[in-house]
Structures are given as structure tokens and as C-alpha cells.
Chain A
Amino acid sequence: MCLTARQLPLFNALAKARVSACRYSVVMIDYFALALGHGLMAIALLHLVMRDGLDVDPLIGGIKDAIRQKRMDASVAGRNAARRKKVEKQAGGPMRSSSASDSADRTRSSSASGSAKKNPG
């Protein structure tokens, strides 16, 4: 391409403008990428902070609860606790001082002393 003496400064100015525009767009792309990446990370970390399952896994926790429940069901103490709970539920809440729970306690203590008496014999 041949340029006249008048065209040459204009061409140089255009070339300089193109280079500075390129530099500017590169910087803008960098800022855009940094803003997008950091924004998405900040939102993700906020979600994680508010999440229940971050420190205790719900799936493993569920299996552990099921094991605990099975063990309670299998043990005598567990069965008694479950029975107590059932009685309390039927009576409409915790009835520690009520006559129903007293009688239940009495029945349990009498059966326990009965079995204690039977054992030595």
C-alpha cells in the first residue's frame, strides 16, 4: 500500500488508536473475568455458609440415626424408654407428676423388685 505524505500521519494515528483500543479491551476483559469469577465464588460460598449439610452429612447422619433407633428398639432400656414415651404421648405430653406416670413407675418398680427377688432363688 502506498500512502501520500498527507495520509501517513493519519495512518499512524489510526494504528496507535487501534493498539490502545486493543490494550483497553484486554484490560476490560480481564476485569470482566475477575468480576464474574469472584462474584460467582462469593455467591457459592454464601450458599455454603447457610447450608445445613456442610459439617454433618445428611445421608450418613440419616443412616446413623437409623442405627441408633434400631439399637434403642433392641435394648431393654430402649424399649422401656419407647414405652414411656408412648404413655406420655397418650396422656398428652410429659406427665411426670400425673397419676398415670406414677402408676407406670410403680408397675415398673414392682416388677423389677419381683424379678430381683426371684433371681436369688
Chain B
Amino acid sequence: MLDLVFLAFIGFILVLGLRRPFLWVLLYVYIDIIAPQRIGYSIIQSIPVSLIVFGAAFGGWLLLDRKEGVRFTLRQGLILALLLYCWWTTGNADFPDNAATKWDWVWKALLFALFLPFTLTTRARLEGLALILVLSIATIVIGTGMKTVLGGGGYENLKFFVNDNSGIYESSTLATVAIALTPMIAWFTRYGTIYKPQWPVTVFAVLLIFACLMVPIGTEARTGLVCIAALGVMLVRYVKQRVLFVAAGAVLGLTALPFLPPSYYERMATIAEPGGDESASTRVAVWSWTLDYVQENPFGGGFDAYRGNKFTYEMPVKEEVGNTTSVEFREVTDEGRAYHSAIFELLGEQGYPGLTIWLLLHGLGVWQMERIRRRWKAKTAEDEAWIAPFATTLQLASLVYIVGALFQGIAYQPVMLMIIGLQIGLNNYCKRIESERAKLAKNERPSPASERAAKRAGRTKPRDAVTA
């Protein structure tokens, strides 16, 4: 039954796309995020929906789209360079089979990120993509938030639509993406044109932001808490009444404390004491291993190069006998531990060149969004006032993601690559407006020929007057 509902939805959008092929691009975004073929359990699993819809999206753009204002940008060049570099390292990987498995989804995510900006040529398309991104994440987050509020949360306990701990269905990744998108959700309450800013939109947005904040609590993802704190600090820069914002944040935080379960406090305590938790203490060991590894392999070891690591460290183990608690330091040997950081993931897998490309890709995005924000913030006309706040939401999404990525191996997370696509699309859109305005201004200036004619006319007039 569920499979039929998914297939009906996909079929409906495919039919709508016959009139507007851009909808196939949005359909691919939905399939890539929610993965209905993994939620369903019968017919849908045997149909390659992702491949069909990607073919439709690319073919529709190639054959039917106007392709007005399409340009290849520097950041798309960086994505292409990263894609080619990853392909090269996969061919020379330390663990060829594992590397091929990861390459299988990474190249698709990078290729789609490369293609996406070509399709984003109008305001409606930019907003449409942002809305489908938000609603796709909302579909996952609404359920997560409701389960948390009704008491079904807990570390590795909260159930999603797909429970294989991969992609967006990994708790820390979902928490990071959900928090990164909260400013964008708020943007729709003021500047949305698909769903006009009215009270139902505001109510839905407030509840959705609340559900997003519930994700780190429900999943007990420490990275999520770090992301909330980072977003709170960054928002101080953008709000008008800063003192009120800080005070409201503190009051809200203190009010929420009594409602949090004890297990949440215990898990969050390990942020300050990483030695007390295996997952946290291995991170430091893996990071130092990666630094040593990259000294010997500056061009990286290909995907999943971490499988070669092995290290021994001491971890405190608490034992409670009656009323006494004893702490004993035991030696723990670990091998094949994942990077737990996008920075070290890139450093180990793609070496210095890969990390440089990735940092440039994200750094340029933050800088471009800042430039757009400054240039367009004074605009008040309805068709321009949305641009600066939209750039701000994309900048905040990038920054929150980078903060989250410091503690998780999510360097090629498709949702964040789509955010990069949106940033490139917005930058292109603003450049096109500026370039057309410059052309208009040039046309409004009198041409040198007309200036000469005007001068001549000025000279001849008095003479004519005399003769007359």
C-alpha cells in the first residue's frame, strides 16, 4: 500500500513535469533526500526510481529548458575538480572494494550538485528548490519531533523511516541538517511566494523549527547540541534586538532543562569529558592517526582509507559495587574506526588537494553569500527584498553544516551539496540582474554620436536664428 502511494506521488510529479520539466529536478531532490525506495518494501524497491528521475531531470533540462542565463562558475569548476580527483583516488585506493562502494553514491551526489545550478535561473525555481528541501527534511523531522515529545527518544533508540544509520537517516547528520535549515524555514514566513506568508505558514514554521530543535534531543546527538549553540551565537549578528534575543534564548534553554531526560544529561556531559566515552575518545586517536597517515600519503588513500587504522588508548571504565563507584583505566584497542570529522575524512581519503578544494568550495560560498547580503540588504522592492535574507539563510546553513562536519564524516552529504547548488544559483541570479541593469544604464546614457549631433544642433541653432 505504502509503495503504491509513493509510486502514485512520483507518477503525479512526472506527469506535471511534462508541462514544466523543472519539476523533475525537484522530484529528484525529494527522492535523493527521503529515499522512498528504501522506505517501501515491495514493488518500489525493484524499480530504479532514482535513475529514472535523474534521467528525466537531465534530459528535460537538456532538451526542453530555455537555458537562459546559464553559466559555468568557478565553484562548479571546484565540484568538477573534486569529482575527478575522487575518481582518481578511487582507482588508487588502499581498499578498492570499499572505496568503490562509497564512490558509487559520492559521484552521483557531486554530479547532481554540478548540474543543479544550471537549472536555477529564476526566483520561482530558487524558492521551489528551497521549499522542496525544507519539506523533504520536514517529512522526516515532523515524525522525529513528535516521537521525542511523546517519549520515544533516546540514543540509538529513536526510529526513523529507514533505520540503517546511513545518509540523512543517521541521527547526527539529521540533527545537523535540521538545525542548518531552521533559518530557511523562518525565511518562508516573510518572503515565500508559493505558500504566501499568512498565519498558517507561520504556525507551521514555528512548529517545524521546534521539531528541528527536538531532533538533537530525541536522538541525543551531541553534534546537534553544538550546532544549536553555534547557530544561536551566529544569529546574534543578524537580529536587531540582541539583548532581548540573548535573554529569550537563555530563558527558553533554562525552561527546557527540567523536561530533558537524565540520559540526555549523561550523554551531553561527554562533550566536556571526551575520555569517558568510546565514540568521543576514539575521535582524537583517529584524528592523530590521520595526520600521521597524510604525512606519508599526501594525495590521500582513497575512500574508506580509515579501515587501515589501529590504535590503543586508555579509557576510564566505571564500576559500581553497592554505594561505591570505582574508576579503572583499561587499555582499549580499536581498529578501522571512522574519521568522525569531514576535515579528517577528506584529509585521509583525498589528501591535501581534496581538502583544499573542499575548503575553497565552502569558503567561497560563505563569502559570496556575505557579499550578496551586503549588496542587496538595502533593497525594499518586493521582487528584490527577499534576496539578502535568502543569502543569509544559505550562509548560516553552510556555517552550521561546517560546525557539524567538524565532528562527523559528512563531507559529501547530498543535502549540503544541494545547498551549495542553491548558493551558486542565487549568485548567478544576482549577477544576471546586475548585468542587465548595467546594460540598461548604458542604454540610458546618450551615445557619443547622439552627443555630437546634439552639439552640432546647439551650434547651428543661433546661426539659423540670425539668418532668420
- Contact surface of A with B, Cβ cutoff 8 Å: 22, 25-26, 29-30, 32-34, 36-38, 40-42, 44-49, 51, 53-60, 63-64, 66-67, 70-71, 74
- Which residues of the other chain, A, contact B146 by a CB distance below 8 angstroms? 29, 32-33
B143 engages A30 (CB within 8 Å): yes
Establish whether residues B443 and A70, one from each chain, have CB atoms under 8 Å apart when the complex forms.
yes
17 new A-B pairs (CB below 8 Å) besides A37-B34, A44-B132, A67-B443? A29-B150, A30-B143, A33-B142, A34-B2, A34-B39, A34-B139, A36-B142, A37-B138, A48-B22, A54-B125, A54-B128, A56-B68, A57-B123, A60-B433, A63-B436, A66-B440, A70-B443
A45 / chain B contacts, CB cutoff of 8 Å: 13, 16, 23, 26, 128, 132
Q: Can you report 29 A-B residue pairs in the complex whose CB atoms are below 8 A from each other?
A: A22-B152, A26-B152, A29-B150, A30-B161, A32-B143, A34-B39, A36-B139, A37-B135, A37-B142, A38-B139, A40-B138, A41-B136, A45-B132, A48-B23, A53-B124, A54-B125, A55-B22, A55-B65, A55-B122, A56-B122, A57-B121, A57-B122, A57-B124, A63-B439, A64-B436, A67-B439, A70-B443, A74-B443, A74-B447
Bound form: Cα–Cα A40–B159 in Å = 23
Q: Is B66 an interface residue (CB 8 A)?
A: yes
Docked CA distance A60–B429 (Å): 9
> Which of B5, B20, B132, B136 makes the CB contact (< 8 A) with A54?
B20
- Measuring CB to CB, which residues of chain B are less than 8 angstroms from any residue of chain A? 2, 5, 9, 12-13, 16, 19-20, 22-23, 26, 30, 34, 39, 65-66, 68-69, 121-125, 128, 131-132, 135-136, 138-140, 142-143, 146-147, 150, 152, 159, 161, 194-195, 383-384, 429, 432-433, 436-437, 439-440, 443-444, 447, 450
Write the nearest CB–CB distance from B237 to chain A, whole angstroms.
Answer: 28
User: What are the residues of chain B within 8 A of A26 when measuring CB–CB?
Assistant: 147, 152, 159
Closest to B432 in A: A60
Task: Chain B residues near A42: list those with CB within 8 A.
Answer: 9, 12-13
A70 and B440 contact, Cβ closer than 8 Å, known pairs A29-B143, A59-B433? yes
B443 touches A63 (CB 8 A): no
Are the C-beta atoms of A37 and B194 separated by less than 8 Å? Answer: no
The 8 closest A-B pairs by CB, nearest first: A37-B139, A33-B143, A57-B122, A70-B443, A63-B436, A33-B142, A54-B124, A53-B124
Shortest Cβ distance from residue B37 to the other chain A in the assembled complex, whole angstroms: 14
- Nearest to B384 among chain A residues (CB) is A59
- Judge whether B123 and A59 touch: CB under 8 Å: yes
Q: Is B194 a contact partner of A48 (Cβ separation < 8 A)?
A: yes
What is the predominant secondary structure among interface residues of chain A facing chain B? helix
- Say whether B161 contacts A44, CB under 8 Å: no
Instruction: Identify the closest chain B residue to A43 (Cβ).
Output: B195
Task: Determine the chain A residues whose CB is within 8 A of the CB of B195 once the complex forms.
Answer: 44, 47
Given contacts A60-B69, A74-B443, contact A29 B147 (CB under 8 A): yes
Determine if A63 and B20 form an interchain contact, defined as CB atoms under 8 angstroms apart: no
Whether A51 contacts B440 by the Cβ 8 Å rule is no
| Distance A71 CA – B437 CA, assembled complex (angstroms) | 14
Bound CA span A34–B3, Å: 12
Q: Are A51 and B124 in contact, CB atoms less than 8 angstroms apart?
A: yes
- Chain B residues with Cβ under 8 A from A48's Cβ? 20, 22-23, 26, 124, 128, 194
> Which residues of A have CB within 8 Å of B159?
26
Q: What is the CB-to-nearest-CB distance from B452 to chain A, in angstroms, rounded to a whole number?
A: 14
Quick one: closest B residue to A30, CB to CB?
B143
Chain A residues near B138 (CB, 8 Å)?
Answer: 36-37, 40
Contacting residues, chain A, for B429 (C-beta < 8 A): 57
- The distance in angstroms between the C-alpha atoms of A84 and B125, with both chains bound, is 40
A54 / chain B contacts, CB cutoff of 8 Å: 20, 22, 122, 124-125, 128
* Given A37-B138, A54-B125, A67-B439, CB of A44 within 8 Å of CB of B66: no
Residues in chain A near residue B20, CB distance under 8 A: 48-49, 54-55
State the CA gap A70–B440 with chains docked (Å). Answer: 8
